[in-house]
Amino acid sequence: MTSLVDRYVYTALRRVPEGQRADIDRELRASIDDAVDARVEAGDTHDAAVQAALRDLGDPDRLADSYAGRAGYLIGPELYPVWRRLLRLLLTIVLPIVVGVTVFVQLLNDPEIGAVIGSVISVILNVGVHMAFWTTLVFVVIERTGHGRTELRTTWTPDDLPQYEPRHMSVTDLAANLVWPVLLIAALVLQQFTFTAEPVLNPANWTFWWPFLIVMVALRGAYSVWIYRSGRSRLTAVVNAALVLLTSGPMVWLLATDRFFNPEYTGFAEIGTGDAKNWITVTVITVIVLTSLWDIADGVIRARRGLPAPVPGTGNTYNFG
């Protein structure tokens, strides 16, 4: 497990120009050691002294800006880190989800590849710009009026440091891993009743396979909660592999035996090629197999060891894991 001091220093150094990192690394560690020693001599425990010393230094991103001579005043020095974290969350989690839903709906309505690409570009530009604009506007109003400032936690604590250990799952990853199962289950159910007059997926599979896959997708969400609470281990790698195989195996079998798509669905004929269904089937099988192999391998690698994180300019390598 990486120490709080290592995590703090690493977080700060990421935003400092490479040429300054070696000096700042030494200076920052010396400052932390002095503060910790002083508090230990005053009667604090070592862990409590580290927490207090880092709390006094404050947000490492803001500290890095001061070292680099950058003024983070787009919104204001107090609210700027909160605004930055929220906007990053929206653009890396919410926007991809919106794009994914848009692609799914577009494939049902008009699967022509040009229309799909056009809708993706349109969504990224429109939704992304609106997210950035309205989020910034809200923070400008808060900055100028003070309304809502008390509801925003702007005080930094060591608990806010990122978790770099590969065995750990961040809150952002957990949120993404919980949202996607909900969207997949909703899409599976809604395509049967609302999106088109003819369901895309084979209705005959509702006797067993679609409910089975819904349960497996829900278990993936529960698995993510487990990882978030307890971290990765060899047991979690085995469970992950089992869940991946139990989910992807039936899907590949249904696709390969022509039982996945609804035989009555006529949308494939509108794509413009007589072999569209077979082309889509092969593509989906390939994607499922490759992503499943990657998921299993990634789970095993993260469960077995940490990944070294070199910081150019310092000569140090931080082994997180």
Under a CB-based contact definition with an 8 Å cutoff, are residues 180 and 154 in contact? no
Residue 21 reports pLDDT greater than 50: yes
- What pLDDT does residue 110 have? 64
Q: What is the DSSP string of 174-212?
A: HHHHHHHHHHHHHHHHHHHHTS-SS-SB-GGGGGTHHHH
Which residue, 94, 129, 162, sits at the end of a domain?
Answer: 162
78 & 158 share domain = yes
Based on the fold, state whether residues 18 and 64 are members of the same structural domain: yes
Structural domain contains residue 224:
yes
pLDDT-derived band at 219 (thresholds 50, 70, 90) equals: very high
- Distance, CA of 253 to CA of 102 (rounded, Å): 27
Q: Give yes or no for residue 312 having a pLDDT over 60.
A: no
Phi, psi of 215, rounded to the nearest 5 degrees: -65, -40
1 pLDDT tier (thresholds 50, 70, 90): very low
**Comparing C-alpha atoms, which of 76, 81, 62 is closest to residue 143?**
76
Among left, alpha and beta (phi > 0; psi -120 to 50; other), residue 69 is left
Domain boundary among 70, 100, 115: 70
Which residues share a beta bridge with 308?
319
Q: Are residues 65 and 81 in the same domain?
A: no
Reported as a single tens digit per residue, the pLDDT across 244-269 is: 999 999 998 998 888 888 887 776 66
Give φ, ψ of 309 to 5 degrees: -125, 95
- Residue 95 is part of which domain span? 72-162
d(CA 182, CA 9): 37
Give the pLDDT score at 307.
47
As a whole number, mean pLDDT of residues 40-59 equals 89
Report strand pairing: 307-311 vs 316-320. Answer: antiparallel
Considering the domain architecture, whether residues 135 and 35 belong to the same structural domain is answered as no
Which pLDDT score, from 0 to 100, does residue 285 have?
86
pLDDT value, residue 306: 47
Out of 11-15, 85-89, 114-118, 243-247, pick the least confident.
Answer: 114-118
- Taking the C-alpha atoms of residue 102 and residue 258, their distance in angstroms, rounded to an integer, is 26
Confidence (pLDDT) at 175? 78
Same domain, 235 and 261: yes
Q: Are residues 201 and 299 in the same domain?
A: yes
- At residue 39, what are phi and psi to the nearest 5 degrees? -75, -35
pLDDT of 183 over the 50 cut: yes
On average, the pLDDT of the chain sits at: 78
Per residue in 130-169, pLDDT tens?
A: 888 888 888 777 776 766 666 665 566 777 676 565 556 7
Query: Would you state the pLDDT for residue 187?
Result: 77
Distance of CA 81 to the CA centre of its chain: 19
pLDDT band at 99, cuts 50/70/90? confident
Q: 83 and 59, same structural domain? A: no
Query: Any idea which residue has 């994180």 for tokens?
Result: 309
The C-alpha atoms of residue 269 and residue 277 are separated, in whole angstroms, by: 8
Residue 224 shares a structural domain with residue 291? yes
The residue with greater pLDDT, 289 or 199, is 289
Gap between the Cα atoms of 141 and 147, Å rounded: 8
Residue 28 has pLDDT above 80, yes or no: yes
The number of folded domains in the chain is 3
Residue 112 has pLDDT above 70, yes or no: no
Q: For residue 54, give the nearest of 68, 67, 39, 41 by alpha carbon.
A: 39
Judge contact between 255 and 218, C-beta under 8 A: no
Q: Do 121 and 204 fall within a single domain?
A: no
pTM for this model (two decimals): 0.50
